[in-house]
Structure 1
Amino acid sequence: MISHIDHIVLTVTDIERSVAFYQRVLHMEPVTFAAGRRALRFGMQKINLQTLGQETRNRAGVGSGDLCLITQWKLEDVIAHLQAKQVEIVEGPVTKSGAMGAITSVYFNDPDLNLIEVSVYSQ
């Protein structure tokens, strides 16, 4: 029935600060849509951003996101990039279970303390 995720939504305190972080740290493309809404595009997906209370149909909270993003980079290069961008790694590299098998991951937080996991599939 379901083939893939089109987008997810993160609740943040400052949308432009989040746009800048994801663009700088994860090389995501900032986009504007639907009368000024902001999002970050990568591959064939995007992360929409909202502030607390902006969307009344959900019970989102700031910092409640927990994302796993797959990279084609070597994990050593990801770690070096995060260090160069002064992003603190809170865990990893560690082996975890991804949707399609074993992954090796590093974890860090975005400015609102959403947990971001960047992973590579084991060869």
Structure 2
Amino acid sequence: MSDHTARIDHVVLWVSDPIGSAEFYERILGTQPVRLAEFAAGQVSFPSVRLNEDTIIDLMPQTMAEHMKMLPGADKSAGHPVNHVCVALPADAFDALLARLVEGEVPISEISHDSFGARGPAKRSFYFRDPDGNVFEARHYD
């Protein structure tokens, strides 16, 4: 079966400690590490975490910035602000994430209602930061 639906394959975040970031995302967001052991062994240049079957978040060490040669100026993207990455979850996973953040004493924004997104107005949403200051929004539609 071929699915030609456009979707986000991955997002690359600059991080200071890829292993620590992977642990944060696994503990807080419930992601699964990808290539973490290989990164720790020096076999690959960055690890990732799997958000779902279709999407991963690459955790690019800031020290790799000088190796970014795919486009002129790409090496200067380390530390370049991305406004935020939004993760849409089912209501129960949203509540579980919120509880883990509160339990882990990770600061969160107020809960918003009916904010617009890819599927229309979200029932609830909020924002939080990862250890490197990257901003995430969590939301649910159902």
Structure-1-length-normalised TM-score: 0.84
> In the alignment, which residue of structure 1 is the partner of 2:55?
45
> In the alignment, which residue of structure 1 is the partner of 2:101?
82
Larger gyration radius, structure 1 or structure 2: 2
2:31 equivalent to 1:28 = yes
> In the alignment, which residue of structure 1 is the partner of 2:88?
70
d(CA) in 1 for partners of 2:127, 2:14: 19
Match of 1:60 among 73, 77, 83: 77
Matched-pair contact (CA < 8 Å) for 1:67–1:117: yes
Matched-pair contact (CA < 8 Å) for 2:32–2:49: yes
Moved more, 38-47 or 63-72: 63-72
Decide which structure has greater helix share.
2
Where does the alignment leave 5 or more consecutive residues of structure 1 unmatched?
none
Distance 1:30 1:83, change over 3 A: same
Aligned-pair Cα RMSD in Å: 2.3
d(CA) in 2 for partners of 1:46, 1:82: 21
1:76 Cα deviation from its structure 2 partner: 4.0
Query: Structure 1 vs Structure 2: percent identity of aligned residues?
Result: 29
Matched-pair contact (CA < 8 Å) for 2:28–2:97: no
1:99 Cα deviation from its structure 2 partner: 1.0
d(CA) in 1 for partners of 2:79, 2:27: 21
**Greater relative contact order (CA < 8 Å, ≥ 6 in sequence):** 1
Matched-pair contact (CA < 8 Å) for 2:29–2:97: no
d(CA) in 1 for partners of 2:24, 2:127: 15
Counting matched residue pairs gives: 122
d(CA) in 1 for partners of 2:87, 2:7: 14
Matched-pair contact (CA < 8 Å) for 1:94–1:106: no
Where does the alignment leave 5 or more consecutive residues of structure 2 unmatched?
none
Distance 1:94 1:62, change over 3 A: farther
Decide which structure has greater strand share.
1
